[in-house]
Amino acid sequence: MHPLSLAQYLLPHQLLSRLMLLMTRIRWRPWKNFLISQIAKRFRVDWTEAANPDQDSYEHFNAFFTRALKPGARTPIADPDALLMPADGRISQLGRIVAGRIFQAKGMDFSTEELLGSARAAAAFRNGLFATIYLSPRDYHRVHMPWDGKLVETRHMPGRLFSVSPGTVASVPRLFARNERLVCSFDTDFGPMTVVMVGALLVSGVETVWNGVEIPPYAGRVFERDYAHRDPCVALQRFAEMARFNYGSTVIVLLPEAVLALDPSLAAGDSVRLGQCLARRVR
């Protein structure tokens, strides 16, 4: 194991992430402008896409990091049978779930049940499809709906906050099933669809459009919310914003078998953009 990955086992994950949360909410102009300018330069942020290109006007660093895009900067593929890529980023892995196991990296996988925290929820994806998308600091950090869906439940899973950088993913077993995460389950016209927002070291904030800030606080136990019987229901359309990372991480999409096929042009390591084709319905 790489020494940097090994060191993460000893770090106080939640304490460091709380400190980062505080630092990224500081409104003191010299500090927040320094952070924004450093990240923008290092990761070559494309300001021409931002709805607000004025760096100085952001109230704090997190406002910059979760910035909206201008209309038309991302558009959904026109194919009506296409499920959409939910975010900008890079594909960590994607493919078929084999007997309830999801591939993480060479020699490592994890179970759908431990990722979702529910045998019942995992059963629908036993031989389904998955896509794991890593969002770097350069990327647009809002996550959108791959398809029309009605929210059924959310499950806040407690855990560690390992980095989700490629090097750590390749060396820490079952990383995505160990990190704190928010499981969002939807009902669609092709069956169940689940979007998992995975927290990470220093970048563990998750916020949804239907309930606001979900993480932190960090969970001490599994916490479930039932949305299936709420009136009015939470129904979101294809391409609509569903959630955002308050400073980055990874999103995992789970899809059922038989009715869908992943876009054959996609492969691990590919850079992807919100709105492009993730999968297609099989007719």
Residues 204-239 pLDDT 10s: 689 999 999 998 888 789 999 999 999 899 999 999
Specify the pLDDT at position 51: 95
Asked if the model's pLDDT at residue 101 lies above 90, the reply is yes
Asked if the model's pLDDT at residue 12 lies above 70, the reply is no
In angstroms, rounded to a whole number, what is the distance separating the alpha carbons of residues 158 and 198?
Answer: 11
Specify the pLDDT at position 209: 97
Domain boundaries in the chain? 3-65, 82-281
Instruction: Please indicate whether residue 249 is annotated as part of the active site.
Output: yes
The single-letter code of the amino acid at 165 is: S
Asked if the model's pLDDT at residue 5 lies above 80, the reply is no
The single-letter code of the amino acid at 44 is: R
Asked if the model's pLDDT at residue 248 lies above 60, the reply is yes
Instruction: Please indicate whether residue 88 is annotated as part of the active site.
Output: yes
Greatest Cα-to-Cα distance within the chain, rounded to the nearest angstrom: 56
Instruction: Please indicate whether residue 144 is annotated as part of the active site.
Output: yes
Give the mean pLDDT of the chain. Answer: 91
Specify the pLDDT at position 11: 67
Q: For residue 49, what are its two tokens? A: 């896409």
Name, in order, each residue with C-beta under 8 angstroms of 24's C-beta and a sequence gap of 6 or more: 35, 60, 61, 62, 65, 246, 247
Tracing tokens 């300001």 back to the chain, one arrives at 47
Q: Does residue 146 contact residue 280 with C-beta atoms inside 8 Å?
A: no
Can you give the pTM of this predicted structure?
Answer: 0.93
Q: What percent of the chain has pLDDT over 90?
A: 69
pLDDT digits (tens, 9 = 90+) for 122-148: 999 999 999 999 998 788 999 999 999
Specify the pLDDT at position 246: 82
- Nearest CA to 273 out of 226, 245, 239 is that of 239
Specify the pLDDT at position 10: 65
Query: Of 17, 60, 88, 156, which one is the catalytic site residue?
Result: 88
Asked if the model's pLDDT at residue 150 lies above 90, the reply is yes
Over residues 197-203, the mean pLDDT reads 82
Query: Of 144, 156, 185, 263, which one is the catalytic site residue?
Result: 144
Measure Cα distances from 53 to 31, 42, 186 in Å: 19, 17, 34
Q: Which of 72-86, 190-204, 244-258 has the highest mean pLDDT?
A: 72-86
Query: Of 139, 204, 249, 263, which one is the catalytic site residue?
Result: 249
